[in-house]
Structure 1
Amino acid sequence: MRSLYMLTLAAGTAALALAGPAFAQDTEKAPFDGVYVGGTIGFDAQPNDGNETILFDRNLDGNFGDTVTTGTGANAFSRGFCGGAATSTANIACRNDKDNISYSARIGFDKQFGNIVAGVVGEFGKSQIRDSVSAFSTTPASYTMTREIDYDANLRLRLGYAANTTLFYATGGPAYAKLDHSFTTSNGLNSFTGSGDDDAWGFVAGGGIEQKLGRNFSIGLEYLYNQYKDDDYIVRAGAGTAPATNPFILPPNTTGTDFARSDDQFRWHSVRATAQFRF
């Protein structure tokens, strides 16, 4: 992942460095003024979430943090958890979360006041990242909750400083993502319900550099931190064909047990190249 970051940064820095002298003859008084359209492509990476777990609501009172116990009173999940997708039921083994590319389309408007540039930009796109967490019961069995992004959008303010045809800026604003949740397990006895799309709201913030290439076209390099609140996804373990001694349906509550992720924030970092056409 570090090598991909370095490659992206090096390529973007080299392109911007070469572009500046080549187009120094562009002497517009306000090169970053007006409406523009463009797109981005980059790489998204998630922070380490190795300490994430799955929480349980054993009595279905809406409060998570209960211990699921066996008929003898032992902790049914004493084998533990991992911050990834389970690859085995015999051992606590998980593959890492998937960091991947992202892409988006954008439209924006800037107004330049001397060297100061203020504007707004809206984006619509998709990230290919995937985030999972797994629990391991003493049965033994594995239980994995996964979230991915169907699409995302944001509306950000931009404020920057223009040095001739080079713009340095900070940016941030509210964001929305349509999340796709899924659940997998090696447990073939209990029934499990709860999957599908959910709405998530959050924010993005970061900064970047944009370099004009002639009067209408520009390229850039941008970093964004993305964070969304994801607390609506719950999986319920029901009786299915499990015996009455099953830990999820032991008396006094025989209806079932709810699962939820311990971390209700979905976060990632984006480094991307940008291209804009200004009208």
Structure 2
Amino acid sequence: MKFARSLAIGVVSALALSAPAMAQDDASSSGPTTNWTGPYIGGSLGYTWQPNTDREKNERIGFDTNNDGNFGDTVSTIGGANAFSPGFCRGFAKGGSAADGCRGDRDGKVGWAVHAGYDMQMGSLVVGGVIEGGRSLVSNSVSGFSTTPAAYVMTRKLDWNAAARLRAGFAVPTGTLIYATGGVAYGKFENAFNTTNTFNTFTESNRKEHDWGWVAGGGVEQKVSDNFSIGVLYKYTRFNPNDYRVTAGQGTPPSLTNPFVITPSGSTTFARTNDRFVTQDVRVTASFRF
């Protein structure tokens, strides 16, 4: 997060300091044109992180014990007690007991993307569209602990991501464009399950997910020549990946006291209670304009 703030402040300061020089150049007719109309290609590099909202902090693993698609069931021992009474924590379990706790999620990663777009200027108004794709590898986990004792960890990672965004803004005579942007986002997710339970069998489904979401944000861009511009961009992106499932089955030899199979369906299916995956980005952008 400190990196993101430093990055944004540094780029905005650089753009602000360059504006007077750009204005001088324009005044002497030797600087870059202030017309933004035309196609462009480029890339971005910066910092991607996830917000620590209550939704993320209070996430649990949900259980479906009767195969009805409802993940609000309680896994009970043969004596009727809650088999997951030790509780849950956000992050990756440090060991097989709740007393071991969890390692916090690494909420921030360096991310990159490439982009291509087209702008059209009408007076001081600039409108256009851009498509982009890249990686950030942001991930998060949730862990549960059973009375066995054993730990169960579900992890979700955003592998590749892409977006198609519209943008609209205002151009000023210094060769600066200030804009808002928004559109459709696409994410390719990888899911994983880890457990210290060596008795039961565990079957995963939808380990790789593809999800559509939305993105919104804004930025500032500065022309440094007729064909080159740099800027800073902030984006908020939301996905809802919720197809990943893990099903616990009977071990060998079968046990009549196994809490995962003394259920109406003879098995227990796991799912994450938080189906929202949110990222925020601060990126430095560079574009070559044709």
TM tier, smaller: over 0.9
| Alignment pair present for 1:33 and 2:37 | yes
Q: C-alpha offsets along residues 74-121 of structure 1, whole Å, 9 cap, x if unaligned? A: 001111111211112231511121221110000000000111000000
C-alpha separation in 1, matches of 2:7 and 2:180? 19
* 8 Å Cα contact 2:170-2:177 kept in structure 1: yes
C-alpha displacement of 1:10:
2.1
| Secondary structure of 1:5's aligned partner | helix
1:192 is aligned to 2:202: yes
Q: How does 1:91-102 map to 2 (within 5 A)?
A: 91=99, 93-98=101-106, 99-102=108-111
Please say if residues 30 and 114 of structure 1, whose CA atoms lie closer than 8 Å, have aligned partners that are also in contact.
no
Does 2:250 correspond to 1:239? yes
CA deviations 1:254-277 (Å, max 9, x no partner) are: 2x1111110101111111111111
1:226-263 C-alpha deviation (Å, 9 max, x unpaired): 10011111111111325221110014332x11111101
Is the Cα–Cα contact under 8 Å of residues 92 and 136 in structure 1 kept in the other structure?
Answer: no
2-side partners of 1:5 and 1:229: how far apart?
A: 25
Query: Relative to structure 1, is the Cα distance of residues 29 and 247 closer, same or farther in structure 2, using a 3 angstrom cutoff?
Result: same
1:108-127 to structure 2, matched below 5 A, reads: 108-127=117-136
Residue 243 of structure 1 aligns to a residue whose secondary structure is coil
Q: Check if 1:249 corresponds to 2:261.
A: yes
Does residue 178 (structure 1) correspond to residue 188 (structure 2)? The answer is yes
Unaligned runs of 5+ in 2: none
Return the letter of the residue paired with 1:76: A
Q: Which piece of structure 1 moves more, 157-166 or 30-39?
A: 30-39
| Superposition TM-score, scaled by structure 2 size | 0.92
What residue identity is the alignment partner of 2:216? A
Cα pair 1:80 1:92 within 8 Å, conserved: no
Aligned residue type for 1:137: S
Whether the aligned pair in 2 keeps the contact of 1:35 and 1:107 (CA below 8 Å) is: yes
- RMSD value over aligned CA atoms? 1.4
User: What SS does the corresponding residue of 2:4 show, helix, strand or coil?
Assistant: helix
What per-residue deviation string (whole Å, max 9, x for no partner) do you get for residues 171-192 of structure 1? Answer: 0001111101111011111111
Please give the secondary structure, in 1, of the residue aligned with 2:163: strand
Give 1:188-227 correspondences, 5 Å limit. Answer: 188-194=198-204, 196-227=207-238
Shift in Å, 1:18: 2.7
Query: 1:5: Cα distance to partner?
Result: 2.3
Percent identity reads 49
Cα distance change, pair 7–30 in 1 and its aligned pair in 2 (3 A):
closer
Once residues 240 and 230 of structure 1 are traced to their aligned partners in structure 2, the CA distance between those partners, rounded to angstroms, is 30
Cα deviation digits, residues 106-151 of structure 1 (max 9, x gap): 0000000111000000001011211111111111111111111221
Partner of 1:46: 50
The total of aligned residue pairs comes to: 277
Contact 2:237 2:279 in 1 (8 A): yes
- Which residue of the partner structure matches residue 272 of structure 1? 283
| Residue of structure 2 in register with 1:106 after alignment | 115
Query: Which consecutive unaligned segments of at least 5 residues does structure 1 have?
Result: none
TM-score by length of 1: 0.95
1:23-57 residue CA offsets vs partner (Å, 9 max, x unmatched): 33246665211100010111111111110111000
Partners of 1:240 and 1:113 in 2: how far apart? Answer: 69
CA contact (8 A) 2:66 2:263 kept: no
Give the 3-state SS of the residue equivalent to 1:23 in structure 2: helix
Q: State the match for 1:228 in structure 2.
A: 239
Whole-angstrom CA distance in 2 between matches of 1:130 and 1:231: 15
Which residue among 69, 83, 90 is the counterpart of 2:90?
A: 83
User: What does residue 170 of structure 2 align with?
Assistant: 161
